Chain A
Amino acid sequence: GDSVTQMEGPVTLSEEAFLTINCTYTATGYPSLFWYVQYPGEGLQLLLKATKADDKGSNKGFEATYRKETTSFHLEKGSVQVSDSAVYFCARGPQGGSEKLVFGKGTKLTVNP
């Protein structure tokens, strides 16, 4: 089917811990891949993106690599901060004649001091 699957939350970490949020997708081609972040009470904003296979997107210490062989786009950060507490959404760009983005269900991250 047409889907993006990301790890269920919530995820709770201590400050400076390593973060991984897994994301896998289905695609017939090579669409763009995105991670969006939603801070409490706000809309979604783009965190990073990758437009082709083996691209690495990065921003604010977060990274994700477009892996076509495993159809994955896992989000990582080496040392999380309290300010990273938010909901993270993985998304796949449009393809196959559809203009719609496909979102995962979101993973809530809480970072404790």
Chain B
Amino acid sequence: NAGVTQTPKFQVLKTGQSMTLQCAQDMNHEYMSWYRQDPGMGLRLIHYSVGAGITDQGEVPNGYNVSRSTTEDFPLRLLSAAPSQTSVYFCASRLTSGGSDEQFFGPGTRLTVL
């Protein structure tokens, strides 16, 4: 198992550009989520999904879109990047049916918006 994979590892954008952060998992997990991590702020939940075709907002959804067309993939889209979106982004996944609550994290994407 590759676990949770994220691409790219690093990205620099200019204000107003758009991009998609990729996340995939090969563990057949129903639940997937995106967090951002900023100094002194801990992890903040952006969006999450409990299964293919179902997404919902977390604490800080503004400026981000998600979709879940397959169980494996959960891309995060920045429609018009802003400097306030400079952060480290983590994708995570876990089972929701009959099993451990353990959440598995990807290695992160470090995004800088100039």
Contacts and interface: CB of A to CB of B under 8 A. Distances in A.
A100 B106 contact: no
A44 B41 contact: no
A101 B103 contact: yes
Please report whether the interface of chain B is mostly helix, strand, loop or mixed according to DSSP.
Answer: strand
Interface residues on A, range: 20 to 34
A77 interface: no
Given A89-B42, A100-B58, A104-B42, A43 B105 contact: yes
23 contacts: A31-B101, A32-B101, A34-B102, A34-B103, A42-B107, A43-B4, A43-B90, A43-B107, A44-B92, A45-B105, A46-B102, A46-B103, A51-B101, A89-B42, A94-B96, A94-B101, A99-B50, A99-B96, A100-B58, A101-B94, A101-B101, A104-B42, A105-B41
Interface of A: 31-32, 34, 36, 42-46, 49, 51, 89, 91, 93-94, 99-101, 103-106
